[in-house]
Amino acid sequence: MLWQALTTVRDLGRLNDIASVLIRYGFGDMVRRMGLANALERTGRALHWHEAEELAHLDPPARVRRAMEALGPTFVKLGQLLATRIDLLEPEWIAEFSKLQDSAHAVAFTEISQQLTEDLGAPPDTVFAAFDPQPLAAASMAQVYRARLHDGAEVVVKVRRPGIRLTVEADLRWLARLAELAEGESPELRAFQPREVVREFTRSLRRELDFASECRNAERIAQNFVGYTDEAVPAPGQPAAAAPPLPIIVIPRVYWEWTGERVCVQAFIPGVSGRQLGRLDQAGLDRKVLARRGAQAVLKMIVEDGFFHADPHPGNVFYLPGNRIAFIDFGMVGRLSDARRDQLMRLLMGLVQRAPQRVADVMVEWTGDGVNDEDSLASEIQGFVQQYHGVALKQLRLGAMLSDLMAILRQHQLRLPPDLSLLIKAFVSLEGMGHELDPDFNMASEALPLLQKTLRARYAPSAILQRGWNGVRDILSLVGGLPQDVSRLLRAARRGRLEIHIDVLHLKRVGNQLDSAANRLVVGIVVAALIIGSSIVMTVPGGPTLLGLPFFGLLGFMGALLGSLWLLISIWRSGGKD
CB 150 within 8 A of CB 253: no
CA 128 to chain centre: 36
418 and 511 both lie in a single domain: no
Query: In the annotation, is 311 catalytic?
Result: yes
83 and 195 both lie in a single domain: no
The count of structural domains within the chain is 5
439 and 345 both lie in a single domain: yes
Q: Is 209 inside a domain boundary?
A: yes
pLDDT given at position 148:
95
From the list 19, 357, 370, 359, the residue with the least C-alpha distance to 171 is 19
Distance CA 394, CA 158 (A): 42
Q: Which domain holds residue 47?
A: 2-103
CA quadruple 247, 251, 252, 253: dihedral sign: negative
Distance CA 391, CA 575 (A): 59
Domain boundary residue, one of 50, 78, 103: 103
CB 259 within 8 A of CB 211: yes
82 and 206 both lie in a single domain: no
Distance CA 507, CA 408 (A): 31
Distance CA 162, CA 262 (A): 9
- End-to-end CA distance of the chain: give it in Å, rounded: 13
From the list 225, 287, 232, 233, the residue with the least C-alpha distance to 250 is 225
pLDDT given at position 129:
94
CB 442 within 8 A of CB 391: no
115 and 99 both lie in a single domain: no
Distance CA 27, CA 241 (A): 66
- Name the 3-class secondary structure at 424: helix
pLDDT given at position 10:
52
119 and 264 both lie in a single domain: yes
Distance CA 39, CA 118 (A): 39
| HSE, side-chain direction, 13 A CA sphere, residue 566 | 15
The DSSP call for residue 89 is S
pTM higher than 0.85: no
120 and 260 both lie in a single domain: yes
Q: Can you give the length of the chain in residues?
A: 578
110 and 220 both lie in a single domain: yes
Provide the 10 A C-beta neighbour count for residue 239. 8
Instruction: Classify strands 324-327 and 545-546 as parallel, antiparallel or unpaired.
Output: unpaired
| Residue tagged active-site, from 87, 102, 311, 329 | 311
pLDDT given at position 134:
92
Provide the residue type at 158 as one letter: K
Q: Is 159 inside a domain boundary?
A: yes
**How confident is the chain (578 residues) per 10-residue block, as mean pLDDT?**
45 69 68 57 50 62 84 83 76 82 77 91 92 88 92 94 87 82 70 78 86 93 85 44 69 94 94 88 90 89 87 85 91 83 80 77 72 73 75 70 77 72 78 86 80 74 76 78 80 74 59 71 80 77 73 79 79 59
75 and 95 both lie in a single domain: yes
Domain boundary residue, one of 233, 251, 268: 268
Distance CA 434, CA 16 (A): 44
pLDDT given at position 573:
66
85 and 134 both lie in a single domain: no
Residues forming a β-bridge with 273: 318
What secondary structure does DSSP assign to 379-412, as a single string? Answer: HHHHHHHHTTTT--GGG--HHHHHHHHHHHHHHT
pLDDT given at position 318:
93
CB 167 within 8 A of CB 74: yes
What secondary structure does DSSP assign to 505-555, as a single string? Answer: TTHHHHHHHHHHHHHHHHHHHHHHHHHHHHHHHHHS--S-EETTEEHHHHH
- Name the 3-class secondary structure at 103: coil
CA quadruple 329, 140, 210, 96: dihedral sign: negative
Q: Is 291 inside a domain boundary?
A: no
The DSSP call for residue 122 is S
432 and 467 both lie in a single domain: no
